[in-house]
């Protein structure tokens, strides 16, 4: 889908503001980047709502979580630039589900891919901390995708700097997310995804002290429905001691 539906465009500002207000309301109630590989494409006039969830099994030495969720809204203001609003929620073992961050940012498509070839974008997000004693964060970095036929490879390289009065590190955190994907038609695809986190580049530590996971993912896309739906689900296996043994991930996207 490459454009808005009918007269939907005139409602986008109200829906955009309403979604941001909804996240702020959630953020006052007890209820980082999630396990989702971003794509560089930007579509003018298209509004998307997304949920990226994860359930954890077998706590790691540095990761003791039950579940986490990222709720995201995006709107393409031009052919290359989109606005982004997000909310991040997490439940640690023995705790309750709480709002951790409210995020605002944008993505700019540097190289527009047409058919096979390379697409490239840059994303920047300001993450407002919602827990006392936690620093705000600034996330930035490139998103690249290469497509050949029904196969594609996508990689996100994000750097995160802490800002404000509660800074815990003076260096940058780095997150690398990647995906290899094979389409088996217009509706179904299979792939492998990997996620790595180095929390302090100035003190990277050993491989087992970092967070690394990889696993298979299935993708479903229903372009004939209005609005358009996309789903994905998979299991990510921890390959370092700091990481949970298994992370079950799911993604849902609704596009207008």
Instruction: Work out how many domains the chain is built from and give that number.
Output: 1
CATH number at residue 35: 2.40.160.40
What integer pLDDT is reported at residue 13 of this predicted model?
52
Query: What distance in Å separates the CA atoms of residue 230 and residue 226, rounded to the nearest whole number?
Result: 12
134 in a domain, yes or no? yes
Read off the pTM. 0.85
pLDDT at 26: 42
Question: Which of 96, 156, 89 is CA-nearest to residue 122?
Answer: 156
Do the domain assignments include residue 175? yes
- Looking at the domain assignment, is residue 220 inside a domain? yes
Contact 97, 68 (CB under 8 A): no
Full residue range of the structural domain in which residue 119 is found: 6-255
Q: How far apart are CA 39 and CA 111, in angstroms?
A: 12
In a domain, 1, yes or no: no
Given a cut of 60, is residue 44 above it in pLDDT? yes
Q: Residue 209 phi/psi, 5° resolution?
A: -85, -10
- In this prediction, what percent of the chain has a pLDDT beyond 90? 79
In a domain, 39, yes or no: yes
Structure tokens at 3: 């454009």
Tell me which residue has tokens 């997310």. Answer: 177
E-strand stretches of the chain: 47-57, 65-76, 81-92, 98-111, 117-129, 136-148, 151-163, 173-183, 188-198, 211-222, 228-238, 246-255
- Within-domain flag for 111: yes
Asked if residue 71 belongs to a domain, the reply is yes
**Whole-number pLDDT of residue 238:** 97
Note whether residue 104 is domain-resident.
Answer: yes
pLDDT of res. 7: 47
Tens of pLDDT, residues 58-108: 998 889 999 999 999 999 999 999 999 999 999 999 999 999 999 999 999
CA 194 from chain center: how many Å? 13
Report which of residues 128 and 18 the model is more confident about: 128
């Amino acid at each position: 889908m490459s454009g808005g539906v009918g007269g939907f465009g005139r409602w986008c500002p109200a829906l955009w503001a309403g979604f941001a207000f909804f996240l702020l309301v959630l953020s006052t109630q007890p209820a980082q980047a999630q396990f989702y590989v971003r794509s560089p494409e930007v579509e003018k006039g298209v509004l998307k709502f997304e949920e990226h969830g994860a359930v954890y099994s077998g706590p790691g030495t540095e990761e003791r979580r039950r579940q986490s969720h990222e709720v995201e809204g995006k709107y393409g203001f031009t052919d290359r630039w989109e606005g982004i609003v997000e909310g991040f929620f997490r439940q640690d073992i023995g705790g309750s589900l709480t709002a951790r961050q409210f995020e605002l940012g944008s993505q700019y498509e540097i190289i527009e891919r047409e058919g096979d070839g390379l697409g490239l974008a840059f994303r920047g997000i300001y993450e407002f901390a919602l827990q006392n004693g936690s620093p705000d964060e600034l996330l930035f970095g490139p998103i690249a995708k290469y497509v050949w036929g029904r196969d594609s490879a996508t990689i996100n390289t994000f750097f995160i700097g802490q800002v404000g009065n509660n800074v815990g590190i003076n260096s940058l955190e780095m997150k690398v997310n990647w995906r290899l994907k094979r389409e088996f038609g217009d509706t179904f695809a299979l792939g492998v995804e990997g996620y790595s986190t180095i929390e302090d580049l100035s003190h990277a530590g050993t491989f087992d002290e970092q967070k690394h996971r990889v696993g298979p993912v299935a993708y479903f896309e229903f372009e004939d429905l209005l609005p358009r739906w996309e789903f994905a689900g998979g299991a990510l296996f921890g390959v370092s001691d700091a990481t949970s043994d298994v992370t079950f991930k799911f993604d849902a996207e609704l596009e207008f």
